[in-house]
Amino acid sequence: TGSSDPYCIVKIDNEAIIRTATVWKTLSPFWGEEYEVHLQPTFHSISIYVMDEDALSRDDVIGKVCITRDTLAEHPKGYSGWVSLSEVDPDEEVQGEIHLRVEVLGSPGGRRLLRCSVLEAR
């Protein structure tokens, strides 16, 4: 039909911790959702998967973004902006980008929170 039913899954070190709402029948979804979750001090990366919900079969992966611990360390006030999606399956071509805001709150030695804002995609 030329449109998708997108939603996002946020994973920390490959463990799914957040799922956004599905936005039906669009190629330019707006979520505007913000989450705060506890972050283990030993985490390596945060991955955001953009998915296409499918009622009749397995949901398709549209693309993903991976933000490493080192990238977040380089941006102490948080990482924000449009990020191009990369492919999950090397045989699939991926087009699109997602608007994110990701920041780590708290001290490196103490309890830390991940604040993740999944804003929109195109």
Q: How confident is the model at residue 117 (pLDDT cuts 50, 70, 90)?
A: very high
pLDDT in tens, 2-29: 789 999 999 999 999 999 999 999 999 9
pTM of the prediction? Answer: 0.92
What is the topology classification, in CATH, of domain 6-121? Immunoglobulin-like (2.60.40)
Q: How confident is the model at residue 31 (pLDDT cuts 50, 70, 90)?
A: very high
pLDDT in tens, 50-80: 999 998 999 999 999 999 999 998 998 999 9
The long-range contacts involving 75-83, CB below 8 angstroms and separated by at least 24 positions, are 77/103, 78/102, 78/103, 78/104, 78/115, 79/103
Q: Distance (Å, rounded) from C-alpha 78 to C-alpha 46?
A: 13
Q: How confident is the model at residue 111 (pLDDT cuts 50, 70, 90)?
A: confident
Query: Residue 95: beta bridge partners?
Result: none
pLDDT reported for residue 95: 87
Question: In this model, does residue 109 exceed pLDDT 80?
Answer: no
Please state the φ and ψ torsions of residue 73, each to the nearest 5 degrees.
Answer: -65, -30
- Give the domain ranges of the chain: 6-121
